[in-house]
Amino acid sequence: MKVMPLQKRNISDSRIVLGCMGFGGEWNKESITEEHILQAEKAIDAAQSIGITMFDHADIYTNGKAEEVFGELLKKRPKLRDEIVIQSKCGIRFADEKGPQRYDFSKDYIIKSVDGILSRLHTDYLDLLLLHRPDPLMEPEVVAEAFTELIQKGKVREFGVSNMSAAQVKLLNTYTPQPMIVNQLELNLKHNAFVESGVLVNQESGSKVNFADGILEYSRLENVQIQAWSPLAKGMYSGRKLDHLTDADLKTIELVGKMAEQKETTKEAIILGWLMKHPSMIQPVIGSTNPDRIKKCADAVRQAEEMTREEWYSLFTSARGQKMP
């Protein structure tokens, strides 16, 4: 039976990750509340109830409040830390008096960011630290210095990236003390690159990933865990009402519903199962604070295992709105 790259490295066997971007309320400067903490606790409990033991953060999520809320839970339930894997991301800086929104992979900023993350989470270490999107001014030697110090001080155990091409990962790996073992990409039925080439651009977020250099194939060869952010496509195929849907979107929504009904499962399980069927052993990062929606993902592993090649291609072709190239 195939296993995930993270499982091969004895880091995590959690087939799904709970993304914590929604923890902490709005993206403002207001303080966290007991209501925020209770919301997060219910989400975490729901996640654990379906076997999720890995949690994804970033220092910018709700302006740091997502990590603060999670940290309050770790203080309240100290045994929880040993039961889970925590990863966070750094490198994005919002516009301020010094300049516009930008990326910063300088040594001082990475180390300062990690110290802030650990303080907010009330933990001594991160299982994984990811560089949050590519920095055009990245100097891999400088990143390596930061990573070496973080390892030596026991603050971070493993490292990864998000939204990077194979060439960018190779460049980092040439200098860093440990290889990048995770790459987070936007992958879902609407936004996939399994049979694509060139630079894929998300029109809403502006994120770009160069799939022409074989990032999926490179990741399989090097045991890099591909994590899919926005794996449910913002609920497009599972019931959320969205504007400006194409004919392909509408037909795929209908097909997902029909398959879920036939298989006596949820739409979420079908959508995630389709993604997890891919031989890259993709690990979806579901970004929900709704316990019911989290639990609807429970059957995804089984659906991935049982989905036929014909079913997979039916969904793929439908979502593309065109025949295979």
Task: Name the average pLDDT for the chain.
Answer: 93
92 part of a folded domain: yes
Provide mean pLDDT across the span 21-25. Answer: 97
Instruction: Please say if 103 is a catalytic residue.
Output: no
pLDDT at 202: 45
Q: Tell whether the model's pLDDT for residue 113 goes beyond 80.
A: yes
82 part of a folded domain: yes
190 part of a folded domain: yes
Overall pTM surpassing 0.85 (yes/no):
yes
State the CB neighbour count (10 A cutoff) for residue 158: 22
Phi then psi for residue 267, to 5 deg, are: -65, -40
317 part of a folded domain: no
DSSP conformation class of 11: S
66 part of a folded domain: yes
Q: Tell whether the model's pLDDT for residue 213 goes beyond 90.
A: no
**What is the CATH number for 166?**
3.20.20.100
Using the structure block, give the residue that is written with the tokens 């993304």.
Answer: 19
- For residue 197, name the pLDDT band (cuts at 50, 70, 90): very low
Residue 91 lies in domain: 5-239+275-298
118 part of a folded domain: yes
**Domains: count for the chain:** 1
Q: Cβ contacts of residue 245 below 8 Å, gap of 6+?
A: 236, 253
307 part of a folded domain: no
Provide mean pLDDT across the span 303-322. Answer: 94
- For residue 40, name the pLDDT band (cuts at 50, 70, 90): very high
- Using alpha carbons, list the distances in angstroms from residue 137 to 88, 115, 142, 221, 298: 21, 22, 11, 27, 41
Tell me: the pLDDT tens digits for 150-185?
999 999 999 999 999 999 999 999 999 999 999 999
- For residue 201, name the pLDDT band (cuts at 50, 70, 90): very low
255 part of a folded domain: no
Tell me: the pLDDT tens digits for 58-82?
999 999 999 999 999 999 999 999 9
